[in-house]
Structure 1
Amino acid sequence: MKDYHYYFRDMYHHGEYVEFEGKKLVCELSSRFGMNQEFEGIISSDLIEIQTMYKEYVEEDYELGNVKLHFEYNGELAQDGYILQIEQETITVFASNKRGIKYAIDALGLLLEPCEKGLRLPKATIHDEPSFPIRGIIEGFYGVPWSFEDRMDSIDFMSKHRMNAYMYAPKDDEYHRELWREPYPAEEFDKIRQLKQHCDKHQVDFFYCISPGKDMKFTSQDDFALIQQKLKSMMDIGIRNFAILMDDIDYVLKEENKNFLGRAGVAHAYLVNEINRYLKQELYQYQLVMCPSEYWSYWDTEYKKDIRGLMDPEVLVFWTGYFVFAPTIDRTHAKNNREYYGHDFILWDNVPVNDADKDRIFLDPVRNRYSKLNQHGHVGFVSNPMNQWELSKISLVTLSHYMWNSERYNADYSWKLAIEQFAPDHVDSMTFFCRNNENRRLWFGKNEQLEQALKDRSMQEIDRHFKKFAEVLADLSGMRNEKFHVEVKPWFERAEMDIRLWHAILACENDPTDGNREKVREWVEKCSFCSVRIGSDMAMKAAQEWGYAKKQENKKETTHEELIESASSQSLS
């Protein structure tokens, strides 16, 4: 049996298996979960509907099952948690909500494996609960928003990876930010409706986010009425989760806003409380999240004092860690900032987002997050992915592991599993490509062997690297993933340019003629003006280190200590 102990929080298995004849698991269903017995999106009639890659194991038409499947309610389990008991003739699922039942059925699909008789399952008990009640994706980056197809696929992805929240907040959706007062055109609104329906089908909560902070008039009843109209239109299609985003604005109050409320923290608390009051009038059950203007930092401020003292206590607060792109989120930062804001947190982790590094792609795992954030007021964790949805999936698999079980999370092991899932027939090549495209804002590790080769002018070692890179590009070109090829194309082309630059450098090192030097200059110029770059940047580093290019032509990489110093010295105004 595959090792799924990392995937589940607790799994008890003593080496025994239950075997079934045939190619499909046929289940006879009984349930004491709810009197209405509605399991839409989980089961259909008396059939199990496994919404994972293992759907082929489920019989579509049968008379009697070869195993009994029983659902039972257990209110002591955490939200989305479940217990799965696999015995000789019965499989029992205990859960506190229907999403927990879905995750248990998904787990059952993962555990099924072929055997000589047909299929087998381990005789086992799994007790699985998440570290965070809210886990998911916030589409909150700048630049070209995802396509409708990408958004639909992201919901499928979240459902398969035990994430339960999709937060709609694309910065360049005009009706979310710049034109927040205006209603969505019918065609755009219908797409939001379809996204909400797709979320419902896959047990994912849809959060609609609005960003009125750039030009909100706090004295204007008309502005408040327009926000209410926008939110009401979302309520009418079943949305019950909302966020008010006040990030990335000039939040110094001016003119009538200043005369009316005095300070930004007071104004933002006032705005959120008014919206919260409206939601209470309209909805019996809902969630409201606020993103403050000071969404990063790790010290107390007047703004935070106003939020903790004035904003309704049930409203959740986003933060990104001690920096916009935080290399580390440790216990001290989490504990202190939770106390400074006085509200429960959702960590908005800017991993693997690349809107501040449009020339780069980030294919590494999330690292250096405190394993017990949930013990310091963190009830949620959401990832802000890249503009390139398909390329975001590798990092997002690792994030999904952290969100579900932060205490056990192992970055490198999760990275390995993510790559195996993303490119099962090209694991070695994809691993190499990912290692050459790590996020240098968050991970400062380097290939020490190659760095030493640069210093020693070891041509052979660096040449091996680029020969390997050429083999990797050739192998990955055979991947059966059209979306991957569309998104990665600029970086494949840049990698080929880097290889050509290295060949020119190698030729010049062996024969430093004017013609060879000119060839190096030609490729240095092409690489310098290329709109994208490979993270390891080895060819340009060699050109700079050995005098073929000026060092300032390459972007300077910031160290962890420099980020901390920068954060401490920046003015929050």
Structure 2
Amino acid sequence: MAEVPDSPWPVRLAREVTHGAALAPWDGVALVGGSPGWSDLAVSGPDPLLVSARLDATSELPPEGYTLRLWAAADGHRRLDVVAGTPAGLRHAYRTARAVVRSAWAVTTTITDWPSVRRRGFLDCYYGPSWSEADRRTLIVEAAGWGMNAYCYGPSGDPHIGAGWRQPYSAAKRAEFARLVALGAEHGVEICWRVSPSAPLAPEAGMVLSDQAETDLLLTRIDDVLDTGVGTILLAFDDVENGLFHEADRRAFGADPHPVAAAHARLATVVAAHLATRGANLVLCPIRYWGTEPDAYNSRLTELVADTPVPIEFCWTGPRVTSTWITAADAAGGARRHPGHPLFLWDNYPVNDWDGFDPSTGAPARRRLFLGAIEGRSAEVGPYLGSYLINCGAEPLPCLPALATAAQWSWNPEAHDAGAAWQAVLDHYDGVDGGLAHLAALGSTSPLHLLPPHPLAVAVLGYLADTRDAAEVRALVDATRRRLRTVPETLALHRWVADIGFQLDAAESAVVVIEAFRTGDVAAFAEAAQWLAERRHQLDAPFPAAVLDGVLVPLIERGRGLAGGPIPTHDV
């Protein structure tokens, strides 16, 4: 039997469709044509299904495209025939095939499909602690399962990204990159590495852009990463102060009409020339990576990198750093800033590192959890894009709902249905009790979503205005708490569930305090007041999870005001 050089999904599909039949790895596999490997691979399971996957490099299908046909043969077998021009197309066909053989088993169905945006994926380029390797591996596999094909590594928690760029990675870290590249190759996901040599968090440690020795050292660091198999470099100047930190750079580039653009262009052209010799790609993130109107910096930068030997994509986040809407007019404006260069849409959602900082540590203190679908991106944006990647946050698994809906939008923006995309997420990740959807509804308004009024929020506001009674609030608190227990564990949402649950407990205790005060119920008042008082430090935490846009806070504070301080419990 010829060796198949990729995961033989026809075997998996036959096993799944035939109700988990214990097919040995190559049971029923035969080469239908003369070419080994993916070309003309067929699988026959014990149920009447023949799955055939054929790789045809001469087909006119777009890259990653495929044609799939489910039909009934004369011998009574159901047949599923797939043709693709690339292995990536066959991978995408598998996702569709799994759905088709379940939903349209008895129907003759023909589907031809391909992605609208060439590079689709996610970044972990947030401010905060870095993910683990296991986290990255999980998200790469999940992203591939939704049809994405790109991942960009670049967390600020890795010092080699910024101020420590001069230091080589350890052998262990390079081995990790190699493992990620191998995993990406298995699942059709390209790995990108971001570097910010101007070190926005520590500009004094940033690169002297006019210094050839510094430039050569950066190319060595880039080679270290490329040697692990990484195929794209993202050279980033985002969040750098709009000026040149080092005196040597101010002298070297001061005569240019825009010295900062000239400095950045010099490094970009040198890096691009070097990447051309390595067969790698370059993405460039300018200082002003948002907006729809040309500006002096971007105009000069684009002019100076016009003749690089490898095409450069320019990072752009839309009209704002975090964009609520991105229209066709916005994308056209973004493209006019960099004529001749595709846009790399760096969508700053669901990243939440901007949402407050702990004053005691200066570290991000994330208050809002963004679980909702990608919305507000016009279907007409797609043609302007070379890449579309969402920026994830410090907690990787809770980013998966947004990632899944972003994958669906970027595959075919014109046919995208946000409601259907969100339902697909719930079907995949949520439990039968709908805990994920319930948690999402308890969250806070995000840059993309103005959540409809939650029944509990309406009741609490009414109670504070003396138009709703305590019994209704307590019943809704109890129902909300019970539904929180159904949140699936797969997305690692336990911290948020615990924090929200605590606030629900505090809100209920506050209602008890208020009602007991009104009725003179001394025992109930004392018990609930003591509960609130004993948890004063937790309730005083500067950045708890924002639940229902903070509606519970004034209720809890009213109860705490009545409760006063705690009664000491120590023995004498």
Normalising by the smaller structure, the TM-score range is 0.7 to 0.9
Structure 1 residue 473: Cα displacement? 2.5
1:331 corresponding residue in structure 2 = 328
Moved more, 104-113 or 319-328: 104-113
Q: How many residues align?
A: 498
Q: Deviation per CA, 1:501-552: give whole Å up to 9, x if none.
A: 22122213322267466765666763331653143133214346x69679xx
Task: Tell me which amino acid in the other structure corresponds to 2:551.
Answer: M
Counterpart pick for 2:482 among 439, 453, 471: 471
The one-character-per-residue Cα deviations of 1:157-185 (angstroms, maximum 9, x if unpaired) are 12211000011111111112221111101
Specify the SS of the correspondent of 2:191.
strand
Distance, in Å, in 2 between the alignment partners of 1:346 and 1:287 is 13
The residue number in structure 1 matching 2:97 is 108
| C-alpha distance in 1 between matches for 2:224 and 2:535 | 55
The 1:488–1:448 alpha-carbon spacing in structure 2 relative to 1, beyond 3 Å, is: closer
Q: Does the aligned pair in 2 maintain the 1:134–1:380 contact within 8 Å?
A: yes
1:400 Cα offset (Å): 1.1
Deviation, 1:188, is: 0.9
Pick from 446, 465, 474 the counterpart of residue 440 of structure 1. Answer: 446
- Is residue 356 of structure 2 the alignment partner of residue 349 of structure 1? no
**Letter in structure 2 aligned against 1:432:** H
Higher mean Cα deviation, 488-497 or 135-144? 488-497
Alignment partners' CA distance in 2, 1:268 and 1:152: 33
Q: CA deviation at 1:74?
A: 5.2
Q: Post-superposition shift, 1:453?
A: 3.5
Per the alignment, in what secondary structure is the counterpart of residue 465 of structure 1? helix
Q: How does 1:139-538 map to 2 (within 5 A)?
A: 139-214=124-199, 215-254=206-245, 255-262=247-254, 263-280=259-276, 282-283=277-278, 285-312=279-306, 314-342=311-339, 343-357=341-355, 358-375=366-383, 377-427=384-434, 429-447=435-453, 449-457=455-463, 458-459=468-469, 460-476=471-487, 479=488, 481=489, 484=491, 487-512=492-517, 515=526, 526-529=538-541, 531-536=543-548, 537-538=550-551
For the residue of structure 2 that corresponds to 1:242, the secondary structure is strand
- Aligned CA distance change for structure 1 residues 360 and 157 (closer, same or farther; 3 Å): same
**Residue aligning to 1:5:** none
Contact between 2:445 and 2:451, CA under 8 Å: does it hold in 1? no
How far 1:91 moved relative to its partner?
3.5
From the superposition, tell whether residues 22 and 209 of structure 1 become closer, same or farther in structure 2 (CA, over 3 Å). closer
1: CA distance, partners of 2:427 / 2:539: 31
CA distance in 1, matches of 2:243, 2:148: 36
User: How far 1:128 sits from its partner (Å)?
Assistant: 1.1
Q: Calculate the TM-score normalised by the size of structure 2.
A: 0.79
Letter in 2 for 1:286: A
Residue identity opposite 2:208 in structure 1? K
1:418 CA displacement: 0.6
Contact 1:243 1:291 in 2 (8 A): yes
Say which SS state the counterpart of residue 475 (structure 1) adopts.
coil
Superposed CA offset, 1:69-94 (max 9, x none): 44433543222121112233454323
Instruction: Provide the residue aligned with 1:570 in structure 2.
Output: none
Residues 539-554 of structure 1: pairs in structure 2 closer than 5 A? 539-543=552-556
Counterpart-to-counterpart distance in 1, 2:112 and 2:232: 29
Q: Structure 2: how far apart are the matches of 1:448 and 1:474?
A: 18
Q: State the alpha-carbon separation in 2 of the partners of residues 207 and 489 from structure 1.
A: 31
* Higher gyration radius (CA): 2
Structure 1 residues 501 and 175: CA distance shift in structure 2, 3 A:
same
AA aligned to 1:442 is L
8 Å CA contact retained: 2:511, 2:559: no
Cα gap change, 1:465 to 1:335, in 2 (>3 Å): farther
Corresponding residue number in structure 2 for 1:72: 56
1:46–1:414 distance in 2 versus 1, CA, 3 Å: closer
Asked if 1 retains the 8 angstrom alpha-carbon contact of 2:441 and 2:454, the reply is: no
1:437: Cα distance to partner? 1.9
Structure 1 unaligned runs (5+)? 1-18, 49-57, 551-573
| Partner SS for 1:316 | strand
Question: Is contact 2:236–2:284 with CA below 8 Å preserved after alignment?
Answer: yes
Deviation per residue, 1:339-386 (Å, 9 max, x gap): 0232210111111112223233221111111112123x2121101112
Q: 1:286, 1:130 → 2: CA distance? A: 22
Task: Work out the CA distance in 2 between the residues paired with 1:492 and 1:20.
Answer: 38
- Where 1:290 maps in the other structure, the secondary structure is strand
Cα distance change, pair 548–130 in 1 and its aligned pair in 2 (3 A): same
Amino acid at match of 2:539: C
Q: TM-score, normalised by structure 1?
A: 0.79
Identify which range, 158-167 or 299-308, moves more after superposition.
299-308
- Equivalent residue letter for 2:171: A
- CA displacement 1:123-171 (0-9 Å, x = unmatched): 2101111121100011111111110111111121122110000111111
Is the Cα contact below 8 Å between 1:137 and 1:385 reproduced in 2?
yes
From 114, 117, 140, the equivalent of 1:129 is 114
Q: Which runs of 5+ in 2 are unaligned?
A: 1-16, 74-78, 200-205, 356-365, 563-572
Deviation of 1:470 (Å):
1.2
Q: In structure 2, the residue corresponding to 1:175 is in which secondary structure?
A: helix
**What secondary structure, in the 3-state scheme, does the structure 1 residue paired with 2:160 have?**
coil
Q: Which moved more, 1:438-447 or 1:65-74?
A: 65-74
Quickly say closer, same or farther: Cα 1:26–1:548, change in 2 above 3 A.
same
Moved more, 136-145 or 359-368: 359-368
**2:81 maps to which residue?**
92
Aligned pair in 2 of structure 1 residues 169, 85: CA closer, same or farther (>3 Å)?
same
**AA at the equivalent of 1:440:** S
Do 1:86 and 1:123's aligned partners in 2 also have CA atoms closer than 8 Å?
yes
2-side partners of 1:73 and 1:528: how far apart?
Answer: 63
- Please tell me whether the aligned partners of residues 30 and 71 of structure 1 are also in contact (alpha carbons under 8 angstroms): no
Contact 1:261 1:267 in 2 (8 A): yes
**1:30–1:69 contact (8 Å) kept in structure 2:** no
Alpha-carbon contact 2:367-2:543 (below 8 Å) kept: yes
How far apart in 2 are the matches of 1:26 and 1:232? 45
Instruction: Determine if contact 1:99/1:203 at 8 Å carries over to the other structure.
Output: yes
Shift of 1:399: 1.2
Cα distance per residue 1:56-111 (max 9 Å; x no partner): xx86xx9x984554443354322212111223345432323220111113322332
Contact 1:208 1:239 in 2 (8 A): yes
Moved more, 409-418 or 510-519: 510-519
AA in 2 matched with 1:337: G
The 3 A distance-change label for structure 1 pair 161 and 438 is: farther
